[in-house]
Structure 1
Amino acid sequence: MFEIIPSIYIINGKCIRLKRGDFTTEKVISHNPLEIAQKFENSGLERLHLVDLDGARRGEPKNYHILNIIAGYTNLKIDYTGGLYTDGDVIKVFENGAKTITASTAAVKSPEKFAQWLMSYGREKINMAADTDPKDYKIKIAGWQKNTNIDLFDQVQYFYDRGLKYLKCSDITRDGVLEGPNLSLYEEMVKRFPDLHVVASGGVRNIADLRRLRDLGLRGAVIGSAFYEGKIKLEDLKEFVITV
């Protein structure tokens, strides 16, 4: 199964867009994230990637109320990310309606803790993000504002060996600029980790890009700018939506 996962990025309660994770490029899409989430649900999509950019920058989740509202007024399976470092953060996010969480910085700064999350909360609920710039393939953290010396594939291998099942992988140079996904990156990821459920994020321009990612063997793709700029219509996604 290949799943389309729409994203909503939140700053100060507003739905926004960024280019390549640069906060100076912020563009407000909507002051009503719930309304956008409901459009996704009404189109048959089942999952939502909710990105707390305030939390990513400040080191702790800040938009519980947005999560709570969307969870309360839709049946979307919400994957929450941004500022998740402690067990208290994770528990509170789940209490406010998230079905899964995605963490990147915690996996870098506290690898033993993140590995423990995989065991204690279950690998179906804990996703890892591995975001990189292909010029060096080093992991970027804290909303992509901080560099590390950790190799992308080494990081994935470490947690793959410890039970990781779900990975969101981003080429940050493609994010929000509609230049196409980094197909070679995802092809290599699938080749190295055949049992990993890899979701691509960044660069998707159109339905053709989604088909290419599906044909590579990925399990899903996050969409954002292509939808918000009208390059992808929700009705265009019917071939990817599983109906029962």
Structure 2
Amino acid sequence: MAKAFEGAGLRYLHLVDLDGAKAGRYVNGPVLERICTQTSLQVDTGGGIKTEADLRLAFESGAAQVNIGSLAVKDRETLLGWLARYGGEKIILSADVRDRQIAVAGWQEQTRVEVTDFIRGYMAAGIRTAVVTDIAKDGMLTGSSVGLYTDLLQALPGLDLVASGGVSSLAELDTLQAAGLGGAIIGKAIYEGRISPEDLGRWAAEKSEGRGEQSEREDA
């Protein structure tokens, strides 16, 4: 699949280690390494990254960036240490939200942490990019939470915000780009045939030649 994305002219891949998320450690390093050595895709990955050994494994396997979610809520000091050592450009803050409050542990644990405050606190420590998933939208193909994203961008100037959840058409990507988002994660819409990799590749090429490039991160 990664080679198909590359062949369609796409440049970015969002790779989730679901096995690692269940195991509580990053386990799909060999898969990541094959993708990174056999394609030119820039890969960001997450799922099960709980220790610095997990983090190093992801980077050594070829990841350009890693996504940190639950650990950012449960162990702030560890993530602050990683940011100091690896830099904010290497770590993406992942925020899964329900009613604008953070949920963790595969969405099973709801916190009272408000998403704007959560991201702001880590931007002060060097985070540049955040992926925000609206749990109510994820996998539903009913459209993105543009209102949520617009509010976040207004409250958090300088944030590179990536949308996740609900994207079902190229027209929605136009809307997200116009709202100021830096990218969007697209998964189910591709696998169910709503958006083809080829059409997405052409869309991305047109945008990079025109108003500026938006990161269309395919979800695998």
Residue 52 (structure 1) aligned to one of 13, 17, 22: 17
- What are the within-5 Å matches in structure 2 for residues 4-43 of structure 1? 36-43=1-8
Unaligned runs of 5+ in 2: 210-220
- Alpha-carbon distance in structure 2 between the residues aligned to 1:98 and 1:235: 24
Higher strand share: 1
Q: CA deviation at 1:234?
A: 2.0
- Alpha-carbon distance in structure 1 between the residues aligned to 2:21 and 2:11: 24
Q: CA deviation at 1:52?
A: 0.8
Q: CA deviation at 1:167?
A: 0.4
SS in 2 for 1:176: coil
Q: Is residue 132–residue 163 contact of structure 2 (8 Å, CA) maintained in 1?
A: yes
2:203 pairs with 1:239: yes
Aligned to 2:184: 221
Aligned to 2:216: none
2:105 pairs with 1:130: no
SS in 2 for 1:147: strand
Q: Is residue 170–residue 203 contact of structure 2 (8 Å, CA) maintained in 1?
A: no
2:43 pairs with 1:94: no
Q: CA deviation at 1:57?
A: 2.3
- What are the within-5 Å matches in structure 2 for residues 106-125 of structure 1? 106-125=71-90
- Alpha-carbon distance in structure 2 between the residues aligned to 1:120 and 1:74: 28
Letter aligned with residue 113 of structure 2: I
2:75 pairs with 1:81: no
Higher helix share: 2
Residue 28 (structure 2) aligned to one of 39, 63, 70: 63
Letter aligned with residue 42 of structure 1: G
Q: How many residues align?
A: 206
- Alpha-carbon distance in structure 2 between the residues aligned to 1:147 and 1:68: 34
Percent sequence identity is 40
Letter aligned with residue 203 of structure 2: E
Which deviates more from structure 2 when the two are superposed, residues 200-209 or residues 109-118? 109-118
Residue 70 (structure 2) aligned to one of 105, 108, 118: 105
Q: Is residue 134–residue 165 contact of structure 2 (8 Å, CA) maintained in 1?
A: yes
Q: CA deviation at 1:38?
A: 0.6
Letter aligned with residue 126 of structure 2: G
Letter aligned with residue 62 of structure 2: G
Aligned to 2:133: 170
- Alpha-carbon distance in structure 1 between the residues aligned to 2:3 and 2:178: 29
- Alpha-carbon distance in structure 1 between the residues aligned to 2:149 and 2:7: 30
- Alpha-carbon distance in structure 2 between the residues aligned to 1:240 and 1:151: 32
Spell out, residue by residue over 1:146-200, the C-alpha distance to the aligned partner (whole angstroms, 9 max, x if none): 2222221111111112121010000011111101001110000111112010000
Aligned to 1:186: 149
Q: Is residue 132–residue 140 contact of structure 1 (8 Å, CA) maintained in 2?
A: yes
Aligned to 1:139: 102
Spell out, residue by residue over 1:5-49, the C-alpha distance to the aligned partner (whole angstroms, 9 max, x if none): xxxxxxxxxxxxxxxxxxxxxxxxxxxxxxx11111111111110
- Alpha-carbon distance in structure 2 between the residues aligned to 1:173 and 1:58: 25
The runs of at least 4 consecutive aligned structure 1 residues that moved more than 6 Å come to none
Spell out, residue by residue over 1:98-140, the C-alpha distance to the aligned partner (whole angstroms, 9 max, x if none): 1110010111111121122122111111110011012xx2211
Q: Is residue 32–residue 61 contact of structure 2 (8 Å, CA) maintained in 1?
A: yes
User: Structure 1 residues 171, 229: CA separation in 2 closer, same or farther (over 3 Å shift)?
Assistant: same
SS in 1 for 2:54: helix
Letter aligned with residue 48 of structure 1: L
Aligned to 1:11: none
Q: CA deviation at 1:54?
A: 1.7
Q: Is residue 82–residue 143 contact of structure 1 (8 Å, CA) maintained in 2?
A: no
